[in-house]
Structure 1
């Protein structure tokens, strides 16, 4: 069964899907006039400030909380393990292609959020509900695709969002602090129940504090390494850029070995195109879909351009990627080369925080997919209850088959979502033009007010 699922995973995540994801990002980039570049400064300002108008707008949580909830689900083991496996399998040049994927992925993430807000609805509890299942049904008039996405999303959440993350937390706690896995499992069971049983408002409050702390902690550790070894940084960049255009990159298969692993791990890390993050974006208090779109696209910038770069550059500087060390251990050993034991602690603690944040973020994604299928408050209660018990099970044991199921269902989520993005790209373009006009008028009004 494992061999069979491994082949299925390799097939669904093959060149056709990777080309579709990259192609969608490229198409949206040109159709939206490179909005991810021209509007990035404005996006970052909107992400970390709260406007008076936002308080009066419909939604459950602030722009910032919606961003951190999505960041919590996205900044996970992919930023530590995923980058390491990309460098091992594809070489240092894979980091460059992760950056390229991030640039186009920002346009994809922007479009997902715009559609999520545009087609969101209020559920039976009076909370906002949105995401691919809603814009596929209400925008594209393809309810069958919406149902497929909801099925794939609710199942995938238990794999990549629950068991895999819970196991990563317990493994990191065991390897770094010698804490028994069953102890970690019980603690995770309790704190996860406390957070997720309170719904999106509770999750938003927790991630608003957790995400910046964990991101700054890890990034600060990486920056210390770069500052103390600044002479190695230019060499690392040179290796990454040179290796990105080697024979393997150009001729190693349809996409090339280096490109394929860079693109695949970039998607695994920032989730642009999977359709998960717009579920959180739909809950934001916002007056224009485009405004939340800008906020959401900063997630890819922070996740890949900042956090993943710390991992990738440190690994290349340490030059251990050809020694046979696997996955997260490579990142840990690379930090230890420069900081000794404290470096291993930094990676261990970051792994625990990253994995746990993903666990609570994905609980909301899975819950909303499940609620779309059954439209019942009782269904949500059942889903949350099962979720916390699966956390306990995943902390103690993880079957290899779970990883494979997770990979397969993530790919299956992406397909209907990408169809929706391409089919509704005209709506995204219209909403973008409409919002940018308003944003320009707001900026002019602010400037006039300052002068007067």
Structure 2
């Protein structure tokens, strides 16, 4: 057995039942402990996040706005998984996989809520602004600095793969297949464009993502809705296929015969977790930089992040695929499946998918650079920032012009391993999450200082 095959088996094992049980299990535990905050306060959360996302509020020096933090997190979270990942889930588990993707996202909303809460609660003020994330709450909250170092190392290295080279590789592949652009030209353009943004740090990244994320999401969602509306007569079948397929796949009929409940569950949960990253500990690093008066106020944006990523964007992709009838065409390639589904009912459908993949991947490159740099700074100090940025930019270029099959596998493994120390921290500090949540919702007045909740962290 070759080294690549061994890594492939490790990757398949980690992203199979073990990680599925750990991540969803943690989400269930946190949901029970917080009294299902994601549903109990859902209306309030939506009103005070999406309802106020464009409000201009006073921002602390060195920090960014809550919406900019959300945009940066979504830039890294909403990626190729929202298009290709959903296709993979449906191809592997049938339409029923979408139901289990929703289940994972429901509990994932509470997991992300908890991650963001803790990241803000235990963040530190540096010369460049706030820094936070799992490494800080593992260190300062759980008092396990070695676990914080483990997470930071895994995240710092994983960023070069999952957030960088494999994303630029996806961009180069998309531009070559759809517009016949040579990978070398893509490499030069993408590297320069990313460098200009990355060099300015979180302030620069957040200013770009707050404009890019709403545009790319709206562009993709509107295109998807046009197709879904044009296939409105197929919506009842699609909804039935999702719910019936989750528990009795053979009863759906058509091109989905042969799936099992376990296949639907495993594919839906694993791809759902992969796309919204709840429990992996990545996006809370961006949320920790927000200007906010209470950890739970920013934690609500974590709920919104998962909702938008999975319940909106992923669901659009799923409904386009199922209502289009493309599942009966015998297509086995995930990228081709969603591209064909868009193309069947919209003249520019294939280009919507291509441009969506391009924008999603580019935004992921920006968001993950900050995650990796913050992790590296936690381990080695401020001096590592410039060398890290330089190496990251080099890997963007490399990703465009090289075959990265092995890099995908290694990145997936590191991404999965990041979840282990993070989940230990989440469960170990779940009492703090509950205390913060109760403190905030008992009196959500305007706070003026962290001193008003710091006693809850001891």
Q: TM-score if structure 2 supplies the norm length?
A: 0.92
Equivalent in 110, 121, 129 of residue 118 of structure 1: 121
Matches within 5 A, 1:245-260: 245-246=247-248, 256-260=262-266
Equivalent in 347, 350, 359 of residue 353 of structure 1: 359
In the alignment, which residue of structure 1 is the partner of 2:102?
99
Check 1:433–1:255 CA distance in 2 against 1; reply closer, same or farther (3 A cut). farther
> Is residue 90–residue 261 contact of structure 1 (8 Å, CA) maintained in 2?
yes
Q: CA deviation at 1:275?
A: 0.1
Check 1:51–1:359 CA distance in 2 against 1; reply closer, same or farther (3 A cut). closer
1:338 aligns with 2:356: no
Give the Cα separation in 2 of the matches to 1:245 and 1:71.
31
Query: Cα RMSD between the aligned structures?
Result: 2.1
> Is residue 219–residue 310 contact of structure 1 (8 Å, CA) maintained in 2?
yes
Check 1:53–1:348 CA distance in 2 against 1; reply closer, same or farther (3 A cut). closer
Give secondary structure in 1 for the equivalent of 2:247. coil
> Is residue 40–residue 298 contact of structure 1 (8 Å, CA) maintained in 2?
no
> Is residue 279–residue 365 contact of structure 1 (8 Å, CA) maintained in 2?
yes
Give the Cα separation in 1 of the matches to 2:156 and 2:259.
33
> Is residue 87–residue 95 contact of structure 1 (8 Å, CA) maintained in 2?
yes
Check 1:187–1:102 CA distance in 2 against 1; reply closer, same or farther (3 A cut). same
Give the Cα separation in 2 of the matches to 1:303 and 1:279.
17
Q: CA deviation at 1:253?
A: 12
Give secondary structure in 2 for the equivalent of 1:114. helix
Equivalent in 290, 300, 307 of residue 294 of structure 1: 300
Matches within 5 A, 1:40-439: 40-48=42-50, 49=52, 55=58, 57=60, 60-123=63-126, 125-246=127-248, 256-321=262-327, 323-340=330-347, 342-376=348-382, 378-439=383-444
Give the Cα separation in 2 of the matches to 1:439 and 1:54.
17
Q: TM-score if structure 1 supplies the norm length?
A: 0.93
Q: Deviations over 1:352-372 (max 9, x none)?
A: 000100110101001101111
Q: Deviations over 1:329-359 (max 9, x none)?
A: 111011111113x000110110000010011
Equivalent in 13, 25, 30 of residue 28 of structure 1: 30
Q: CA deviation at 1:54?
A: 5.3
Moved more, 14-23 or 53-62: 53-62
Check 1:253–1:114 CA distance in 2 against 1; reply closer, same or farther (3 A cut). farther
Moved more, 182-191 or 170-179: 170-179
**Structure 1 unpaired stretches of 5+:** 443-452
> Is residue 2–residue 400 contact of structure 1 (8 Å, CA) maintained in 2?
no
Give the Cα separation in 1 of the matches to 2:346 and 2:339.
10
Give secondary structure in 1 for the equivalent of 2:326. coil
Give secondary structure in 1 for the equivalent of 2:58. helix
Check 1:400–1:51 CA distance in 2 against 1; reply closer, same or farther (3 A cut). closer
> Is residue 335–residue 343 contact of structure 1 (8 Å, CA) maintained in 2?
yes
> Is residue 93–residue 260 contact of structure 2 (8 Å, CA) maintained in 1?
no
Give the Cα separation in 2 of the matches to 1:169 and 1:91.
27
Give secondary structure in 1 for the equivalent of 2:278. coil
Give the Cα separation in 2 of the matches to 1:77 and 1:153.
19
> Is residue 181–residue 395 contact of structure 1 (8 Å, CA) maintained in 2?
yes
Check 1:181–1:53 CA distance in 2 against 1; reply closer, same or farther (3 A cut). closer
Give secondary structure in 2 for the equivalent of 1:287. coil
Check 1:248–1:138 CA distance in 2 against 1; reply closer, same or farther (3 A cut). farther
Q: CA deviation at 1:47?
A: 2.5
In the alignment, which residue of structure 1 is the partner of 2:254?
none
Kindly tell me the number of residue pairs found equivalent between the two proteins: 437
**Structure 2 unpaired stretches of 5+:** 252-257, 448-458
